[in-house]
Structure 1
Amino acid sequence: MKVEVHDTPRSIGAHLAQRIVDGIRQHSAEGRAYVLGCPGGRSPMPVYEAISELLAAEPIDCSRVIIVMMDEYLQADGNNGLMPPPVSAHFSCRGFGEREIVGRINASLPAQFRVPQENFWMPDPDNPVDYDARIAAIGGIDLFLLASGAGDGHIAFNPPGSARDSRTRVVALAEQTRRDNLATFPDFRGIDDVPSHGVTIGIGSIAELSKTVAMIAWGEGKRHACERMTAATAYDATWPATIVAECRDAELHIDTAAAGR
């Protein structure tokens, strides 16, 4: 795994955003889709912000971009089942993706260059296994941005103990994962407000459906996560983000705070 240490989170964002925009431009010129795997939360925000800045300076055709989201919270539906929260909920992953990813990409683009609604993908909790097949049918994910939970190493909503060959599925969220998300979504009043379940892309799905992955970790709070991932030579189920060690063309992008220097 290639490790790159950047001065700041903003420099991580600028580096990866340029790469993504270059990839979009090349694929568009060739008439091909560019498939970008995206997590929600704080870690990838510098990338999404930098993409917006690049496109504002030089608009390009993003109509073939496909955004593949990693996960979504699930709530009780009142009939002993589970359902996604409304898009307006502050913790909705769909809402985050529509605002912070697609919204930022499309903000400066003319209508014909924008990412169409149908190119924004979310796993379906009623039929999660179809997500992997859908991604495989498009040829896989060109670049999957990844992030590691600070407290337990969850990746997407995969909790510690997740099987290496796990696929997109509904899971019970680990308590530490829920506590980590109190910081990600500060409008939660406490742990009891954080949903206990989610639908998530699987560990095996990430490794096998991605052509390239870029793990992002910044800030002192991610220092232990960086230590776990850089020490890993293979997947360790006690820290699910170590799957990055088994991904094709894997990179770890960290800042000096996370690196400990």
Structure 2
Amino acid sequence: MKVMIHNNPEAIGEHLATRILTELRAANAAGRPYVLGCPGGRSPMPVYQALERQLAANPVDCSGLIVAMMDEYLLSGPDGLSPPPASAHYSCRGFGEREIVGRINRALPAALRMPEVNFRMPSLAAPETYDAGLASLGGIDLFLLASGAGDGHIAFNPPGSMRDSRSRIVTLAEQTRRDNLATFPDFHGLDEVPTHGLTIGTGSIANLSKAVAMIVWGEGKREAFRRLSTASGYDPGWPATIAVECRNAELHADAAAGAVP
């Protein structure tokens, strides 16, 4: 996996946003959609912010851009599991609508905006259909990835996930839930973090992605950087290591995460 160290998170964002828009222009010229795999949370935010800045300065037709999200929380209720409303502060759908699609469309004139139909998420009723749907699009052109700081979860795949796991419903590991207390600071304690999630699988990421860019930044991600930069294959104890088995894999870190001890 190619390792790139940037000065700061903003530099990671600018680099990847430039790449995404260059590839989107090429896809537009070829008359095909461009599928961008997206996580929620803090790690990819510099990319989404840079996309907004760059599109405002140099608009690109985003009508062929398809955003494919990784996961969603599930709430337990009398009728079983259900996703939270998009208005919930921790909703992954809400994050995608506000922080990805919202930023892109805010930067563009109406004629160039990304249509709502081009926003995709796994289905609670039939999670396995997500993989087939992405395959029918030709796969994911670039999947932005992030690693849990405490247990290396990727999307909601917990430690112990099988290498070839597919999109599915999972029980969230306690450390994953603790990591997400920082990701979504409006949680007031671990008891408020849902215990289940809907997630794309590790095998789905590896099999469906044409290229991946793992993003780690900040001192809190030094262990993630160490694990990822030294991995030679998938380690179920740190599921984010699936990145090293993906095609055209890159690891993007800032100076704080990539600092030598």
TM superposition score normalised by structure 1? 0.99
Q: 1:241: which partner in 2?
A: 240
Deviation digits for residues 112-132 of structure 1 (CA, Å, limit 9, x no counterpart): 211111100010111100000
SS in 2 for 1:206: helix
- 2:189 alignment partner AA: G
1:112 and 1:139 map into 2 onto residues whose CA distance is 25
Q: 2:36: which partner in 1?
A: 36
2:57 and 2:231 map into 1 onto residues whose CA distance is 39
1:157 and 1:106 map into 2 onto residues whose CA distance is 28
- 2:118 alignment partner AA: N
- 1:242 alignment partner AA: T
1:66-77 correspondence to structure 2 within 5 Å: 66-77=66-77
- 1:33 alignment partner AA: P
1:206 and 1:232 map into 2 onto residues whose CA distance is 17
Q: Does 1:27 align with 2:53?
A: no
1:1-261 correspondence to structure 2 within 5 Å: 1-79=1-79, 81-260=80-259
1:205 and 1:45 map into 2 onto residues whose CA distance is 23
- 1:177 alignment partner AA: T
Deviation of the 1:236 alpha carbon:
0.4
Deviation digits for residues 179-201 of structure 1 (CA, Å, limit 9, x no counterpart): 00000000000000000000000
Deviation digits for residues 2-23 of structure 1 (CA, Å, limit 9, x no counterpart): 0000000000000000000111
- 1:250 alignment partner AA: A
Deviation digits for residues 227-251 of structure 1 (CA, Å, limit 9, x no counterpart): 0111110000000000011000000
Deviation of the 1:78 alpha carbon:
2.1
2:2 and 2:184 map into 1 onto residues whose CA distance is 30
Deviation of the 1:111 alpha carbon:
1.7
SS in 2 for 1:128: coil
SS in 2 for 1:182: helix
Deviation of the 1:30 alpha carbon:
1.6
Deviation digits for residues 139-165 of structure 1 (CA, Å, limit 9, x no counterpart): 000000000000000000000000001
2:151 and 2:197 map into 1 onto residues whose CA distance is 16
1:194 and 1:126 map into 2 onto residues whose CA distance is 22
- 1:129 alignment partner AA: E
- 2:161 alignment partner AA: S
SS in 1 for 2:131: helix
1:77 and 1:129 map into 2 onto residues whose CA distance is 23
Deviation of the 1:29 alpha carbon:
1.6
* Structure 1 segments (4+ residues) deviating >3 Å: none
SS in 1 for 2:157: coil
Structure 2, gaps ≥5 residues long: none
TM superposition score normalised by structure 2? 0.99
Q: Percent identity?
A: 67
- 1:187 alignment partner AA: D
- 2:16 alignment partner AA: L
- 2:173 alignment partner AA: A
Deviation digits for residues 193-228 of structure 1 (CA, Å, limit 9, x no counterpart): 000000000000000000000000000000000101
1:151 and 1:91 map into 2 onto residues whose CA distance is 19
2:87 and 2:162 map into 1 onto residues whose CA distance is 33
Higher mean C-alpha deviation, range 20-29 or range 198-207: 20-29
2:76 and 2:242 map into 1 onto residues whose CA distance is 30
Structure 1, gaps ≥5 residues long: none
